[in-house]
Each structure stands twice: as structure tokens, then as C-alpha cells.
A and B are shown apart, each in its own frame.
Chain A
Amino acid sequence: MIEQIAFALALGLATFLFVKSIKRIRRNIFLGRPLPLNDRKSERWKLMAMVAMGQSKMVKRPVAGFFHFLIYAGFVLINIEVLEIVLDGLLGTHRLFSAPLGGFYPIVIGFFEVLAVAVLLACVVFLYRRHISKVRRLNLREMKGWPQKDATNILVIEIVLMLALLVMNAAEGAFPEPYQTPAPFLVSGLLSPIFAGWSYESLHILERICWWGHILGILAFLNYLPFSKHFHIILAFPTVWYSKLKPKGAFDNLEAVKKEVELMMDPNADPYAAPAPDASAEPVKFGAKDVRDLSWKQLLDAYSCTECGRCTSECPANQTGKLLSPRKIMMDTRDRLEEVGKGIDAQGPDFKDEKQLLGDYISEEELWACTTCNACTEACPVNLDPLSIIIDLRRDLVMEQSKAPASLNAMFTNVENNGAPWQFSPQDRGKWAEELSQS
């Protein structure tokens, strides 16, 4: 009974804290500009099924894709066993599903054990890639410090959780007669001989320690997620659902600019027909200086990024030694958003500080290195769009601050005056055709 109460308290506390974190992140995401993205629903569901559930872009890098799939499948399916563990904890039962499932039960548990071993193996491979073979993209500049530690934490925690599960089952499998149990199981049964000669009492204590360790570990891990890149296991699904569906080359046309241009260019437009400016309304901004100028989708992207660095490894600017890393764009956006979120928690919704995303997190040099080639968005396994953030920050630099590089300002002047990015007379546009008929 005491165990049941302790379990219910632990579960309640973990759920409470997790819901609180989710609310915080949700609030932060919706600090972004509104953006309607509920069109073409059937396409979006299909995309989510393919890209998020089916991992279609993950497997484009077969090694990482394969081992990631093992962890993904393990995570999804072992949750069925976690459900049993939670019910056992609340009801004070032991292996609640074994009676109704009968002879099928050991097969199911055996299957989960195979998955647990696969997850374990994948985590070891990932630790190896990260720390021993040192895959370049996993060890770039922006990964120093917390991001690298976070990644290692996740892998180690998953290894510990899987070990707890296997040792728990192995201990039970070694129970001496007459203690009835559905064990031994497929994998842990092979480990049971380690415990030969142990008394029932010792085995039972070990089994309980692993049981508690496993479930408390899961509850703790659950509450680690919202502070970690590992939160992608939840956000990958919505973020893919809200993917950009237009061709990658289509950049958004700023609505605010559209109105201004219409007023300026259309001889029939009546400037006085425009609604009287609302004194309380925020002045219209062109582009983004800080996270609250970005759309909620861009902020959702930032929280969904798991820092795999495929974007950066495909980025032509990064490959040629430039400062730009699309992954860092996502990480900076998230880190700044977290900072703003904390400020709002402490000082209320009007929170302001001396910092902003543009300049304090992302430098102009990074922004100007982008060739807008879309290699990053193509590479991202969950369709994140760092390019749109780069463009919104460039828009602020150019339209709010007039801080384009001098050569780009010259290009703008040419486009405006000559209708071409170079200094040629518009009258000479058709000259090639004259040359053609003369040749």
C-alpha cells in the first residue's frame, strides 16, 4: 500500500511538472506572430505519416537513419510495457497483462527485450560516433558545452533505462521455485544465470530496485525533455504537419510591404481610404529583430530542432569555412526564446531587455553568408526552415536599419534605377537581339 501511494505521488508530481513545462513552451511558441497554417490538411497528414512517422528523410543517411529507427521503434513500442508498469504501480499488481495475455505474454515481453537491446546498441553506436569517431557535424563549434552534454546525457540515460529493464526481468527470471513468474524471457533469460545462487529475497530486492529505478528514471527523463533537444520526440510530429508546402524557392511576400507598395504604386489607390492608424497598435515591422517578430511556426521549429547538424553539414557556406551554420540559427532562436520566456515569467508579458536575437545571438556575418540554396531545408529530417529565419533577419537589417553590405546597396540602387542589378541602361535590354540580326 505504501508503495502504491509513493508511486501515485511520483506519477502525479511528474505529470504536474511535465504539464507545466508544456504550457511554458506552448506559451513561448505563441509569442511568435500569428500565421494561418491549416490549409491542405490531407497533404499535411500524409507528410506527417511519411516524414515524421515513416522517418523518410532520416534514412537518407543510412547509418544514422537505421540506428535512429531502432531507438524510435523501441521508444514507441516499449511504451506499451511502460503502461503495464504504471498500472502495476497504481494498482499494486505485478505484471497485470500476463494473466489476460497468457502464453502470448512472454512473447510480447521477449519482443520488447529485443527492442531494448537494439536501443542499447544504437545508443552505444551514437556515443561512439559522437565521442570516438567524432563525426564532424556532431562536434562543430556550436555543439561545445551544454549541447554536447545534453546529447550525451540522453544517450546515457537511455542506456541506463534499458539496462534496468533487462536486469529487472533477468532477476525475476532467476527466482527459485516455488515463486511463480511468467519469466524467463527471450533476452533476459540469457542473463538470469548470472544470478544463480542468489536467494529469493536478494533477487526480489534487485528486481524492485530495477523496477523503481526504471520507472522513476522514465518520469525524470520525461521532465528532462522540455529542457533538452530531445523534446523533438514530441514536437517532430506537429512541426512536420505544419511544414512549408509551397515549393522551397517560394519565399513569403510580406503583407505589410504589399499594402505600402500598393499605396505607392497604384494611381487609383486612395491614401486616405486607409484606416486611421490605431494609436495603440504596434508599429508595423519589416522583418525580424527578435524572436517575437518571428512566426509561431519558426519558434516551433526552434524547439523541434534536435541539433543533428545535417543542415550545417550540407550548407555550402559552412563547408567553405564561413561562420554560418543553419543549426546554430535554430539553436540561437530557441535559446533566445527561452531567455525571453524566463524574463516574462519573472517580469510579466511586457518584459524587455537589452538583448535581441539579431546581433546578440546571430551576427550579420552569419546572415550574409547564406546563398539561399535550400540545402539546409532539404537535409532537415523534420522539414525545419532555418532559411526563413535568415531572410526575416536580413529584412530587418535592410529595411529597418539600412545595414546591407555596400555592394548590395549598390545592387539595390541599380535595380531601382536601371531595372537591373548592374549599371546598364534599360534601353539596351534588347541589344542582344539587334546583334543577333546583324550577325
Chain B
Amino acid sequence: MSDFKVATMAEMAAEGKSPDVLFWVGCAGSFDDRAKRVTKSLAKILHSIGLSFAILGSEESCTGDPAKRAGNEFLFQMMAFQNIQVLNGYGVKRIVTACPHCFNTLRNEYPELGGHFEVVHHSQLLQQLLNEGKLRIEGGSFKGKRITFHDPCYLGRANEEYEAPRALIQKLDAEMLEMKRSRAKGLCCGAGGAQMFKEAEPGDREVNHARAEEALELKPDVIAVGCPFCNTMMTDGVKHYEKETQTSVLDLAELIAQANDL
């Protein structure tokens, strides 16, 4: 099942083809070992339902999100300029990404700079495929499991998408639990705004510990996430409380891939 090749845009273009959707993998999804598992899961799901997709491969670059949030507007716009040239060069219309930071930047900040695409987060694409009957989710392995969802800031508050991830979890026949602070009131994992790439400022505790503690109060089997940075932060937080044997942190794509035995 997993033995398939993911095409790049360059390969597709050479054959005179273009995919239905470009899978924007993002830096974490390309290089971080944990996030790569999410990337592979999503690729498997898209392949399993026969959706035509491609990646940019080595032609993809950082969207510039961490640079922009850190105040380096120059670097951000340079990255945006390059990426938009590549994307427009291939005539890309539709983009899916498993990173809410890439999603937000591509969707909200690129249009003014000349990049006009329909950009969806993977939870939105999967929900849409589900609604269209193209994707089926087998509840089996997660039936009755306690699952809570940690809203990524850049999917939730930043872009007001709260329901798509929950709709996917519902399909797992799991017991969906909500943290005290969820949806618009969801607490950040602590990684946004380029915090991922620096030490936290002095304080009395780490943001990800606070958030993991809140999630662990629900005694969940799974903390579902929709962002590679949240994934790292929540995984660290769960380890901090030594609960990694009871509670796993999994991306929405991993949940569905596992449920569907991909």
C-alpha cells in the first residue's frame, strides 16, 4: 500500500500534467523526523483515495513565517517572492499543507505579494473529501478511545477553523473530549511567533507544560494536533509529566492513516 512514488511538480510538468492539488510539505514536514511521519501519513491518505497531488521537492522553501513573526520582514518577503515565482511558474491553483503556519502565510500574506492560491489545511481537505464520500474513515482502532484536540493558534484563532479537525475525530468513533480552553480560547503550545527557534524568556514555567497539564487532566489516550510545532511541544509536555506511555500525541493525518491501516 505504501509503496508508491510521490511526484514532484517538475516531474509532472515534464509529462505535461498538473495535479489537482499541490502538497506544501513545509520545513518541519520535510526535515523533522517526527513531522515527517505526519507528512508520510498524509501522502498515504491522499494516495489511497487516488487524489492527484504533487510536491515541490527541492524547489520548496520556507514560507518565511518564522522570519516575519520574528520581525524580519525583509527575509520574509524575499522568501515569499521566491516561492511565489515557483508556484506561479507551475500555475499552481490549489495548495494543501499540514502546517498551519505555512497555511496562514500562503493564504493570508502571499496574495498581496502576487501569490493567489486556494490554500487549505489538511484537516479541511480531509473533511471535504469525507463529505464528498471520497474518503472513508474506519473507526476500528480508535473506537472508544479518549481523544482531545489541541487547537493550533494559526488554524484556530488566526483563521477561525475549529470544526474540520473535530469532524475528523468524530469519525473515529472515539470519545471526543474538550479541554477547558479550546477553540477560540485555546491556549497556545508556546512555539508560535518564532519561539520554536529560541529559548523561552525567563518565567516561572513553560507554556507547553501548562498546556500539556491541561490536556492530561482529561486522561486522554490521544492528544490530537494539527501542527508540527504543536506536535513537538505537546510531545515534550507529555514527556515532562512522564505520561508518554498512557497518552500519545498524534497528528490528525496520523490518526486517519492508522485508523485506515495505511
Which residues of A does B touch, CB under 8 Å?
A: 246-251, 253-254, 257-258, 260-262, 264-266, 286-287, 314, 316-317, 319-324, 365, 368-375, 377-378, 391, 393-399, 404-405, 407-408, 410-412, 415-416, 419-422, 424, 426-433, 435-437, 439
Which residues of B does A touch, CB under 8 Å?
A: 2-6, 8, 25, 27, 29-32, 36, 39-40, 43-44, 55-58, 60-62, 64, 66-75, 77-79, 81-82, 104, 107-109, 112-113, 153-154, 157-160, 184-185, 187-188, 190-207, 210-211
Q: Verify A316–B210 contact, CB threshold 8 A.
A: yes
Q: Verify A415–B75 contact, CB threshold 8 A.
A: yes
Choice from A254, A260, A321, A372 contacting B192 with Cβ under 8 Å: A372
Q: Verify B77–A412 contact, CB threshold 8 A.
A: no
Q: Verify B198–A286 contact, CB threshold 8 A.
A: no
Cβ of A254: which chain B residues have Cβ within 8 Å of it?
Answer: 73, 77
Instruction: Kindly report which residue of chain B lies nearest to residue A439, judged by CB atoms.
Output: B2
Q: Verify A416–B75 contact, CB threshold 8 A.
A: yes
Cβ of A374: which chain B residues have Cβ within 8 Å of it?
Answer: 153, 157-158
Cβ of A435: which chain B residues have Cβ within 8 Å of it?
Answer: 36, 40
Contacts A265-B82, A408-B70, A420-B31 known; A365 to B201 CB distance under 8 Å?
Answer: yes
Q: Verify B69–A391 contact, CB threshold 8 A.
A: yes
Cβ of B185: which chain A residues have Cβ within 8 Å of it?
Answer: 314, 375, 378
Show 5 residue pairs from A and B whose CB-CB distance is below 8 angstroms, ordered by the A residue.
A249-B108, A251-B69, A266-B81, A395-B72, A407-B199
Q: Verify A429–B58 contact, CB threshold 8 A.
A: yes
Cβ of A407: which chain B residues have Cβ within 8 Å of it?
Answer: 197-199
Contacts A249-B104, A257-B77 known; A398 to B188 CB distance under 8 Å?
Answer: no
Q: What is the CA–CA distance of A439 and B39 in the complex, to the nearest angstrom?
A: 14
Q: What is the CA–CA distance of A266 and B68 in the complex, to the nearest angstrom?
A: 21
Instruction: Kindly report which residue of chain B lies nearest to residue A250, judged by CB atoms.
Output: B108
Q: Verify B40–A436 contact, CB threshold 8 A.
A: yes
Across chains A and B, the number of contacting residue pairs, with CB separation under 8 Å, is 234
Cβ of A422: which chain B residues have Cβ within 8 Å of it?
Answer: 27, 31-32
Q: Verify A432–B201 contact, CB threshold 8 A.
A: no
Cβ of B108: which chain A residues have Cβ within 8 Å of it?
Answer: 246-247, 249-250
Choice from B8, B109, B203 contacting A253 with Cβ under 8 Å: B109
Give chain B nearest CB distance to A92 CB in angstroms. Answer: 55
Q: Verify A421–B27 contact, CB threshold 8 A.
A: yes
Give chain A nearest CB distance to B11 CB in angstroms. Answer: 10
Cβ of B160: which chain A residues have Cβ within 8 Å of it?
Answer: 247-248
Instruction: Kindly report which residue of chain B lies nearest to residue A377, judged by CB atoms.
Output: B157
- Among all A-B residue pairs, the 8 with the closest Cβ atoms: A249-B158, A394-B71, A321-B204, A372-B193, A419-B61, A250-B108, A373-B188, A321-B203
Cβ of A391: which chain B residues have Cβ within 8 Å of it?
Answer: 69, 71
Instruction: Kindly report which residue of chain A lies nearest to residue B103, judged by CB atoms.
Output: A249
Q: What is the CA–CA distance of A395 and B193 in the complex, to the nearest angstrom?
A: 13
Cβ of A371: which chain B residues have Cβ within 8 Å of it?
Answer: 153, 188, 190-193, 195, 207
Give chain B nearest CB distance to A173 CB in angstroms. Answer: 49
Cβ of A320: which chain B residues have Cβ within 8 Å of it?
Answer: 190, 200, 203-207, 210
Instruction: Kindly report which residue of chain B lies nearest to residue A367, judged by CB atoms.
Output: B71
Choice from B8, B55, B188 contacting A316 with Cβ under 8 Å: B188
Cβ of A316: which chain B residues have Cβ within 8 Å of it?
Answer: 187-188, 190, 207, 210-211
Q: Verify B205–A420 contact, CB threshold 8 A.
A: no
Q: Verify B157–A373 contact, CB threshold 8 A.
A: yes
Q: A421-B197, A429-B25 are in contact. List 20 more A-B contacts (CB 8 A).
A: A246-B108, A247-B159, A247-B160, A258-B77, A261-B81, A265-B82, A286-B73, A319-B210, A320-B203, A322-B200, A322-B203, A369-B200, A375-B185, A412-B67, A419-B79, A420-B62, A422-B32, A426-B61, A429-B56, A433-B43
Q: Verify A430–B197 contact, CB threshold 8 A.
A: no
Which residue, B39, B62, B159, B201, has most C-beta atoms of chain A within 10 A? B201
Q: Verify B201–A323 contact, CB threshold 8 A.
A: yes
Q: What is the CA–CA distance of A287 and B73 in the complex, to the nearest angstrom?
A: 9
Contacts A248-B158, A422-B31, A429-B57 known; A375 to B188 CB distance under 8 Å?
Answer: yes
Cβ of B187: which chain A residues have Cβ within 8 Å of it?
Answer: 316, 319, 375
Q: What is the CA–CA distance of A374 and B100 in the complex, to the nearest angstrom?
A: 14
Instruction: Kindly report which residue of chain A lies nearest to residue B195, judged by CB atoms.
Output: A371
